Chain A
Amino acid sequence: MIKKISGPLVIAEVEGAKKGDLVRLGGKRLIGEVVELRGKNASIQVYEETSGLKIGDEAINTGSPLSVELAPGLIGGIFDGIQRPLEDIVNVSGYFIERGIDVPSVSREKKWSFVPSVKEGDVVSAGDIIGQVEETPLIKHKIMVPYGISGKVETIKAGAFSVDETVAVIEGQKISMLQKWPVRRRRMLLQKSPVDSPLVTGQRIIDTFFPIGKGGAACAPGPFGAGKTVIQHQMAKWSDADLIVFVGCGERGNEMTDVLKEFPTLKDPKTGRPLLEKTILIANTSNMPIAAREASVYTGAAIAEYFRDMGYNVAMMADSTSRWAEALREMSGRLEEMPGEEGYPAYLGSRLADFYERAGRGKCFGKPERDGSLTLIGSVSPPGGDMSEPVVQNTLRVTKVFWALDEGLAHKRHFPAINWLLSYSLYLPNLSEFFSKEIAEDMAEVRAEAMKLLAQEAELEEIVRLVGLESISKKEQLVLFVSKMIREDFLYQSAFDQVDQYSSLKKQYYMLKSIVEFFVKGSPAVEEGVDLEQLKKSEVVGQIAGARFMKDEDVTNLPERVASSINALRSGGRHG
């Protein structure tokens, strides 16, 4: 029975309530979760708008925790923060979302063709793959033995089944393709291992300068308008993960629409299939109930871990974790907890750490032996762009990649507006072997040289601002010229140009190598007396600028062209 209603928080007497139990409230059977118990009273955070609830309305305990449904039928779908399918909700309530809607997360009608991979009589245990369903041409949905079940397979059959029909019987237990999993509980790996290969995103500043490894965690904090969402979308579109879980957490409705509209038309760079065949969307837009926002990142993580356990490389984007933290803060305020920094609850740091630690790669439970990974990328929206605020600071403590989005760059329309002097990736040592083996032996040196030039540029610009361009040496002027090339011809990348939006790792290397080569060969040339203006006007400068729009094979010999063109200038200079 309900005793108190204050926004999304309801206090009620609930029979046999345990912390975490799912509760249904009032005549509309709104969904809530027990977050606190005090004497006979349970504090319930309600995942839907509470207007219309009355004192004395009933509160029914379902006895089970908030869970996700894991089964074929998730891919290509869009779900709200507590995994209700938004597409099916349209059929029930039209284009506005009514309250108290009860629709199963995955369709019970659709039949999937199940192909067993174990035989009757085999002995299996939790996590073992017993068969699979081709959910989309890109993803074979592996059916795994649920936790807590093991023993001899008594029956198993191939054929078309809906998700709740029995496909196998193990030690008397009926197994269907549908599993439930409490969203707040993490799914474990058998053994975690360190990151050793990059998540290739095709975004030059990320892949070359601040790469993220498969199984890593990254954050992208920045003020509004700095391009957080565009970066998240670019990662979702171009990264070489097998499966993408995109959580739109307290963000704009139109952004989700954009993804829904664009992804079916976009092709996966690896396979050429529509991107939606490897994407799952969770949408709690900013006008949807706040408590469900808090749950949405967990819903996303539970689904992502489930696919990781099948042996896939999964990437999850959460945009934006600040909205999630704010939802925590609001609930904490209503619970009258003692506030920590900036009103956030004292447990903000531990919740964030707990979330980002769900990233990782390693051995999954069960047979056959397989590796999976989950990469987490969270954006943070600090108030006023202030990086010292608690959500950014707590996130930086647990993520190893920091992409600092810079408002100044965004104003100059330099995109991606990632500040190259502030950002970092701690995965570079893990990935150095991959880069030198797969891309080029001197990849690390080329990157380091470019970074050095950019750092020098920042210092020189200070001087130029104070005393003018004429006061620095020709060689220093060359540094400025080359670093401008790095910025404008390499780091700048258009998300809207058909060619420029994705660069392969090899292309990235050759592009950067060309620019660095221009400096390496150009600086002795300038010292020898070759006219700087002449050097700046050389034909290769235009070619370097155009490399963004070139095909991979046309860029391969660009470094040599740069070298020979400058050498020609040098010899010309000597003779003349």
Chain B
Amino acid sequence: METKRYTRREFIRNASLTALAGVSLPLLSSCAKEETEDFLQKHFREMTAEEKKQVIAKLEQRYLQKFGRKLQISTKEAVPDTLWGYGLELSRCIGCRRCVYACVKENNQSRHDPQLQWIRVLRLKRGNLINLENSDHYYNPDTVPEKGFIYLPVQCQQCQNPPCVKVCPVHATWQEPDGIVAVDYNWCIGCRYCIAACPYKGRVFNWAEPNIPKEEINPSVHYLGNRPRMKCAVEKCTFCIQRVRDGRYPACVEACPTGTRKFGNLLDPNSEIRYIIDRKRVFRLKEDLNTESKFYYFFEA
């Protein structure tokens, strides 16, 4: 029954789209086979395994042409019984921003025009934590940490009640079963409603075609994670979906020189993150907005 529904829907879709494509493509872009394929590409969640393979092959070829590197694009699904959670020890962050740039390298973000960074480190004066208006994002002293200040890194909080998922008009972003909020970059229409809805400024927009130096491309990518994106699509931290589904720590966790960042499976009672929640005083940003974020901050001192 399921397949029958899809075929009929598919027929209507392909018929009307081909008609539309025939009319609108000359207007909207140069008539290339590549663009027609892109135009008709389905939503990732609706693709069959065969279609996913085709899309991956097409993308791998594209990336080979564009970057001269062979990328391995994974579409690995969520590991069963996992719900990823993140811990960040605020008493240890020294604001060195090594996590920011490790993330940029790992996740193939645009380096300039536009410069996209998924992690943003805020500097707050001691005595103040909640009113982020008093934060400084552009501090650049000779050495960190500076006396009298604390540092608060913020990235996508992978909320359980994500406001961005609620407002996306085309279902381009959704929550995966392992708790990661994912984006199908080929489905996003670039309306930026999700950016307006996110209380943590977790999402950033590719305002132009991304600029990634070819030699710095990370070749092991995930379709929903760090594969090189295109202009005018939204992106955000994915808890390094390409790593964690294989059981590896995210890049920011590995990069931090002071061991501030912790990661684990919230459903595993022996995981590091559960240890933190059970024994340390954890809080989440803007808890009053009921986003049920999975990014836990905690203190020792």
| Interaction A to B | no
